[in-house]
Structure 1
Amino acid sequence: MSDPVERLLKETIGLDTASVGPTVVRQSVRERMTACGITDPETYWRLLTGSPQELQELINAVVVPETWFFRDREAFTALAQHARMHKRANQPIKILSLPCSTGEEPYSVAMAMFDAGFGAQEFKIDAVDISTRNLAIAERAVYGRNSFRGSYLEFKDRYFEPAQGGHQVNPAVLKQVRFRAGNLFDSRTSFGAEVYDVLLCRNLLIYFDRELQDRALVSLKALLASDGLLLVGPAESALPRLHGFTSAEWPMAFAFLKSGTVQVVAQTVPVSNSTLPPSVPKPLKSKIVPPVGRQGHLQTTAQMLDQITESLATIERIANAGRVKEAQEVALSHLRQFGPSAEIFYLLGLAQDAEGAAPEAVQNYRKALYLAPNHREALAHLALLLRKQGDHHGAEALTGRLGRIQTRSGT
């Protein structure tokens, strides 16, 4: 029963079941069968394939939101800076949040733009998601404790009002966001002739296989203005460069600028580039030097890139779900399979940092910097951790080093 359902979900929304695990799909099917009063799998299958409404309900059940306000705060800083640099007279900055989940991201964008000095008429935000359940929550705009995480919560007093069940986004922010249902892979979903200055597509590509990742990036690129900015999730940062995007050089923002002159280079990128932090791009080489695998056999660049990307995406998904201990275990497995790299040491350090294992996190951040001395994210996180530990001298040294890197790069 689960195999045809999994195929249907992949055909409909691009979901690679391996990315969430078949248990999630099976549980969602059971929930929907119970809701429909159906006990026979074949009867449910006929309903599912004959009712667009039931298919949408299953999609709603499968797509579980995991988001909060100002998640990856640096991304919103980069967005506002980019908008300021590309501000045009009498023409608003156009921003797309895809997927927008339960609304925390597009509302965060609106708050960031207001904080950056933009007026209500100077920007507009479209927010699109495959889940109608998520969109209903977003339009209601009342959020509980789980949507307010981390130490940066100053925005809460400025932009929220107490409401039954939590806090509601204030009207000024609500007016800036237009929600609608949509599917990147559905030809019936039309974005019209709209072209966006900024596109947030964070933590979506990790749920697709490589073929659909490529299709998605082609579609996303077509939605961006020639000088547009694309923001992705940390585990997706190897992918945009394969489609001609270039790093925007913002630390920990995972931001990329559109470039219309570079062809897709998935078959000519050295494997080592797939694990580089997005802030430290290296020039692509035309000559392929296949890496040596664990058993000493040569593997093709494309095969290894697929494996590394999938493995890093898995670590990101597990960490995003709050299972930091499991994320560490999977990261260590990645290390044993693919060998050392700056990115895997950085991700391992992040997971240990989140769990409170500061000594281990420091060690892995330092390993990342040994392999990639200009790894901005590792520098920034290590500086923060050292400062928490009272090593202000070490933290200042790293902060100064990060500043010199930014000065050299012109950011």
Structure 2
Amino acid sequence: MKALHDIADRLKAAMGLDMSTVGSSLIERVVRERMAALQITDDRHYLAHLQPGSDELQKLIELAVVPETWFFRDREAMLALARMGREKLVAGQSARLRILSLPCSTGEEPYSVAMALFDAGVPASAFQIDAIDIRTLSLDVAATGVYGRNSFRGSDMGFRDRYFTVQGTQWRIDEEVKAQVRFAAGNILSDDFLADALPYDFILCRNVLIYFERALQMQVVAMLERMIKDDGTIFVGPAEGGLMLSPRVASAGIPLAFGFRKRRHDEVLPAASIPAAPAPVSFAAATPATPKAPRARSSRSAQVAAPVVDAGEQDLLAQARLLADQGEFSRADALCEQVMLAHGANADAFHLKGLIADASGDASGAQRYYRKAVYLDPGHHEALQHLAALLQAQGDLSAARLMRQRAERAEQSTTQGAGSHG
């Protein structure tokens, strides 16, 4: 067992993956798979193969990184980037937009950004996207540009009709989109990572910080600050907003986009005024769902005092999401409680409370709230996805797989329902 922890430490040193966030069962599974491939039965013997920069260490990394992404995941960030990019070009703030997708996984994120920019009227000559990932197998998929059904989620598939060609049971992305993205292998933790790169207008570094321990999180945040232009925007995952807030960085104030910018010199705040960053969490975040109809009143909600705001249910939830985006987790949580106090138990409110608990490092609380959301709405796709990711991080792979299957069925049901009403 000691050898397994030493292997996990070597993996962590190479790529930042903390065993406490993904669960020891995942690490053990990929280690056993590689040992079987090499016909090694002794853990210490395998550890000797994992020298820094070795081929075997890279192969272990390839197995340990499990891509979980799809086109237009967190759509608000993509649309906000396209809108802001067009505005920068029109205002003459940039002659050609420089965009970084890190990590880019199998390419869905940078290709989504390219499509969003095209849809916003930005010509190909006006932007370039650099896409970097540590996993070469993911980069091979991205470079090929052929995707299956799992890469297309949600009911809005208009972009697929515009930018893809059907190829059997898969879809091939158009060459005009591929040409806008430059893929490369790279390790975000390398001392010389993009050391000579010019600053970027936009950086997407989403849902990766949550897998690092505190020291590495701050190291990466400092690197992002170095690589972004003074008027640029950094987009992170929903649970990572609190990590970005500092005397130097502020929220960009874009609802649900989780964008951050450098503070202007006249608005730099003392460190004591910035809320403490939350502990790392373990989930692949998705865009919060559209508010649904009121549910039965929650007995628990009636016991919690919340600030009185004269607004409707959907307005309160929108305010709560904006506060969560800005790292104001306590105020966002209080508004969720007010929603349920005034309107009854609500699946979207429980889902948002789960995100807040996740961002605060309360995995058990997050799981409890996600389950409440699913109890109220068995087809709540986002809650099911987050619950699946949380269960996987805790090592319960079979339960995580079941939740993902439920999420896929819920999504298919929604898509079919939308089509039947079209």
Global fold match (TM > 0.5) = yes
Higher relative contact order (CA 8 A, sep 6+): 2
Aligned partner (choices 11, 20, 23) of residue 21 of structure 1: 23
Partner of 1:86 in structure 2? 88
**Structure 1 counterpart of 2:50:** 48
- Opposite residue 237 of structure 2, the aligned amino acid is G
Distance 1:41 1:95, change over 3 A: same
Q: State the distance in 1 between where 2:242 and 2:94 align.
A: 36
| Percent identical residues | 42
Structure-2 separation of matches of 1:156 and 1:250: 26
Query: Which of 265, 274, 280 is equivalent to 1:269?
Result: 274
Alignment of 1:247-286 (within 5 A): 247-259=251-263, 261=265, 268-270=273-275, 277-279=323-325
Q: Deviations over 1:279-319 (max 9, x none)?
A: 5577xxxxxxxxxxxxxxxxxxxxxxxxx98942767xxxx
Measured after TM superposition, the shift of residue 269 of structure 1 is 3.3
1:60 and 1:309, CA in 2 relative to 1: closer, same or farther beyond 3 A?
farther
Q: Is the 8 A contact 1:236 1:313 kept in 2?
A: no
TM-score norm. by structure 1 comes to 0.68
Q: Is the 8 A contact 1:142 1:168 kept in 2?
A: yes
Which whole-Å CA distance do the structure 1 matches of 2:380 and 2:194 have between them? 47
Identify the residue that residue 366 of structure 2 maps to in structure 1.
Answer: 331
Structure 2 unaligned runs (5+)?
Answer: 280-319, 329-354, 385-413, 415-422
> TM-score, normalising length from structure 2?
0.67
Q: Is the 8 A contact 1:104 1:138 kept in 2?
A: yes
The separation in 2 between residues aligned to 1:264 and 1:21, in whole angstroms, is 38
Provide, for residues 356-409 of structure 1, a one-character-per-residue CA deviation record: whole Å limited to 9, x for no partner. Answer: 369x99xxxxxxxxxxxxxxxxxxxxxxxxxx9xxxxxxxxxxxxxxxxxxxxx
Q: 1:50 to 1:56 in 2, by over 3 A?
A: same
Q: 1:106 to 1:23 in 2, by over 3 A?
A: same
Question: Which position in structure 2 is the counterpart of 1:63?
Answer: 65
State the SS of the aligned residue for 2:154: coil
Contact 1:98 1:200 in 2 (8 A): yes
Distance in structure 1 (CA, Å) of the matches to 2:78 and 2:366:
27
Pairing of 1:168-207 with structure 2 (within 5 A):
168-207=172-211
Shift of 1:36: 2.0
The number of residues matched between the two structures is: 312
Q: State the partner residue of 2:127.
A: 123
Instruction: Please give the alpha-carbon distance, in whole angstroms, between the structure 2 residues aligned to 1:265 and 1:254.
Output: 22
The separation in 2 between residues aligned to 1:166 and 1:231, in whole angstroms, is 29
- 1:268-347 residue pairs with structure 2 within 5 A? 268-270=273-275, 277-279=323-325, 311-312=358-359, 330-331=365-366
Q: Secondary structure at the match of 1:167?
A: strand
Task: Letter of the 1:26 partner, please give it.
Answer: E
Which of 104, 110, 114 in structure 2 is aligned with 1:106?
110
**Gapped runs of 5+ residues in structure 1?**
283-307, 316-326, 334-344, 362-387, 389-411
Aligned to 1:215: 219
Bigger mean CA offset, 102-111 vs 261-270: 261-270
CA RMSD in angstroms, aligned pairs only: 3.2
| Letter in structure 2 aligned against 1:137 | V
Shift of 1:68: 0.2
Deviation of the 1:277 alpha carbon: 2.8
Supply the AA of the counterpart residue of 2:143.
E
Is the contact between residue 97 and residue 200 of structure 1 (CA under 8 Å) also seen in structure 2? yes
Partners of 1:313 and 1:64 in 2: how far apart? 24
Instruction: Kindly provide the CA deviation profile for residues 4-28 of structure 1, in whole angstroms up to 9, marking residues without a partner as x.
Output: 1111122111111111111111111
The answer as to whether partners of 1:203 and 1:236 remain within 8 angstroms in 2 is yes
